[in-house]
Amino acid sequence: MATTSRSRRKQDDEKKNKKKQSPVDDRPSVPSPSESMLQNLRTAFGLLDRDSDGHVTPAELQFMLRNLGIEVSDDLIADLIKDASKTGSVIIDENEFMQWVTKIQALQGMDVSTSGGDSEEEITRDLLAAFKVFDRDDNGYITRDELRTALEMIGEPVTDAQLNQVLALGDIDRDGRIDYEEFVKMLL
């Protein structure tokens, strides 16, 4: 009988200890992002944070997505922001944004601990994607109006003088527009 009583106490103690332990998080672990990936995420956050207050609101996220041609309901945007926020609030700071995107990338199987886009193939793909953001009509050229629209889309309104400067830098053949090769030379 003494052994039964000891066994019960041992089982009770084990149950108490289990209750004290935090529940095991069975979600996949997220590796630490590389410095290159962190810099890319900081840049993305800066583009989203239109008023530069250090936070992204649902309206700021919605603005960027709509300008990229991505239609998402306001309710889904609010849910996404709440999911990204550690406190469940309707705004996220830069750290929450970076952790949220890194988690999404890890769930999609992306290796965030690598250089984050340093291979020649990845650089080419990124440059082409950036060019397409500017080339709204997909004709292979960035016109003055497309350049203005793209810069305003990311919250960078420009004057005519600034547009002239960018075009003067990028338009090597002086045809009044920037083709892909000129775009790459301007950026690299």
> pLDDT (tens digit, 9 = 90+) per residue, 12-68?
555 544 444 433 344 445 567 777 777 878 888 887 888 889 999 998 888 877 776
4: buried, middle or exposed (CB in 10 Å: 19+, 13-18, 0-12)? exposed
β-strand partners of 178: 142
Residue 54 DSSP SS3: coil
pTM (two decimals): 0.49
